[in-house]
Amino acid sequence: MSDRSREKAVRDVWRPATPRREPVTYTPGLLLTDDVRRLPSGLRTAVQCIELANLGVNRAVVTEQAERVLQSDPAHADAYGPWLAVLALYYTGDLVSADAQCERLARHPSWSASARHQNLLKLLRARGSLISGDATRAVDLLKAALADEASAFPACLAIAWLIEALVHLGELDQAHEVLLEHGLVGRLSTHLPDRPHVLAARGALHMAMGQFQYAVDDYTACGRTLAALNVVNSAVLPWRSRAAFGALAVQRYDLALALAEDELIAARKWGSARSVGTALHAVAIARRDDSSVPLLEEAVQLLDLGQARTELTQALYDLGTLQVERKDVTGGRSRLEAAGAVARECGNAYWAERVRQALTRLSGPDNGRALTRQEIKIAQLARAGYSNQRIAETLFLAVRTVEFHLSSVYRKLAISGRRELATALGSVAA
């Protein structure tokens, strides 16, 4: 099979089985009637703005239309017009303008007097907080919005963003409880509001828990849903790059590279620093060749420029780890220290601790942290979600032997258990 045929084959994984006959615009948090022309003028302009953003074209026009909606008097606008307009600004990467518009809306009497308006505003602020790295504030805002059961607002979107924020904080048990509480495990209804965001959030949780194939399945389902809704812009949801990391973990290397490179093409068409930086991060890790370090360095610069500190922390961490693998210990240490500094500035204790442990492993004696071949095999199976019993059956070992080796792995890597294998194992076992 040629490279072109192989790439087409893996990309067909997320193509919708039957294309829609009529264009459909995905408007997060809002279910539209079929005839958009009947909407009030401000909301109609906001919907057109989101439609352009979904297609990933004309970023300057999207910004202009969003600002036009937001310049109108909020007292005479439907709440969802400004809601969509601010979302569009987040898509463009203009966090400063989006946050400023949130503050403006918060001061307006028509927004401060309405519970529905206030909860929409909490969601917008939470989204901005998560992008800029303050996942703790995002969690607080989203929990406050969800606690107000009397107000009608996009609950599924709030739940999805809450799960995503909890995952970034390492609060995986809480995130799983949210999924269970709202009945979002197993097969999701095709009519579930904001289904793409729920699938993406669930995929993030699966990734963090080491359930990589489940993560790939959720992300590709997210991609199929978005494709059916004519959404190609990774600024809406960077599902391809996230799925690429899961594909790498289950050794589907062609799929990982195709996903990452496909997202990079779309991100460059859109042109926001955050989107391009996120895609470059995935491409660099998927390639694992001489271009990986320069690509990651470019990704770090763009994510810093785009004030996307959540993604910046992860990119710095992976860059530092990769440089250590390439025997550039000084450069790797510097990047890991930078990742730790960003995590501390964002108040993210989970990532700050992960970086600290990585630096501890780097400082430790080589003979104390080097894994044996048997330990690497067992650790890789544990990372993939295998139980101790299944690992023992796969490798023809006693369960007690597996337990002994895993304890040794945790001690050598200075980690507390399976949850941290996904990141700790890479640099040592490469």
Amino acid at 100: A
205 is written with which tokens?
A: 């949780």
| The token pair that represents 48 in the structure block | 């057109």
Contact by Cβ (8 Å): 7, 15: no
* Dihedral sign computed on CA atoms, order 224, 225, 228, 229: negative
Instruction: Give the integer Cα–Cα distance in Å for 157 and 51.
Output: 18
pLDDT at 343 over 90: yes
Q: Is 290 helix (H, G, I), strand (E, B) or coil?
A: coil
| Displacement of CA 429 from its chain's centroid (Å) | 25
What would the DSSP string read from start to end of 158-180?
Answer: HHHHHHHHHHHTT-HHHHHHHHH
DSSP 39: S
Instruction: From residue 307, give the alpha-carbon distance in Å to each of 222, 293, 382.
Output: 26, 21, 35
Span 119-140, pLDDT tens digits: 999 999 999 999 999 999 999 9
**pLDDT band at 23, cuts 50/70/90?**
very low
Closest CA to 179 of 202, 203, 196: 202
The predicted model gives 185-208 an average pLDDT of 93
* 275-326 pLDDT per residue, tens: 999 999 999 999 988 999 999 999 999 999 999 999 999 999 999 988 988 8
CA 223: distance to chain centroid?
13
Burial class (CB in 10 A: 0-12, 13-18, 19+), 144: middle
User: Residue 198 in contact with residue 184, Cβ under 8 Å?
Assistant: yes
* Residue pair 223/243 in contact by the 8 Å Cβ criterion: yes
Residue 308 and residue 296 in contact, taking contact as beta carbons nearer than 8 Å: no
User: Could you tell me which of 306, 316, 303, 305 has the C-alpha nearest to residue 343?
Assistant: 316
Angle of CA points 316, 274, 420, to nearest 5°? 40
Specify the pLDDT at position 10.
39
**Residue 156, CB half-sphere, CA atoms under 13 Å: how many?**
19
Distances in Å between the alpha carbon of 200 and those of 160, 390, 417, 424?
Answer: 8, 29, 25, 24
Lowest mean pLDDT among 34-38, 195-199, 331-335: 34-38
Mean pLDDT value of segment 6-11: 41
**Any idea of the CA torsion for 373, 377, 378, 384, to the nearest 10 degrees?**
150
Collapse the DSSP code of 415 into the 3-class scheme (helix H, G, I; strand E, B; otherwise coil) and give the result: coil
Window from 140-149, 164-173, 185-194, 412-421 with minimum mean pLDDT = 412-421
Here the tokens at position 278 are 């996120």
Q: What is the mean pLDDT of residues 153-164?
A: 92
Percent of all residues in the chain with a pLDDT value above 90, rounded to a whole number: 57
Residue type, 197: H
Using the predicted structure, report yes or no on whether residue 366 has a pLDDT greater than 60.
Answer: no
Residues 232-291: tens digit of each pLDDT: 999 999 999 999 999 998 889 999 999 999 999 999 999 999 999 999 999 999 998 899
The sign of the CA dihedral 390, 392, 395, 396 is: negative
Kindly state the tokens that stand for 317.
Answer: 């961490």
Q: Could you tell me what percent of the chain has a pLDDT over 70?
A: 87
User: How confident is the prediction for the chain on average, in pLDDT?
Assistant: 86
Q: Which two tokens stand for residue 156?
A: 């599924």
| Residue 293 confidence (pLDDT) | 95
- What gap in Å lies between CA 266 and CA 319, rounded to an integer? 23
What pLDDT score does 140 carry? 96
What's the CA gap between 120 and 105, in Å, rounded?
11
CB 363 within 8 A of CB 417: no
Backbone dihedral angles phi then psi of residue 346, each to the nearest 5 degrees: -85, -5
- Confirm if 205 and 163 have CB atoms less than 8 A apart: yes
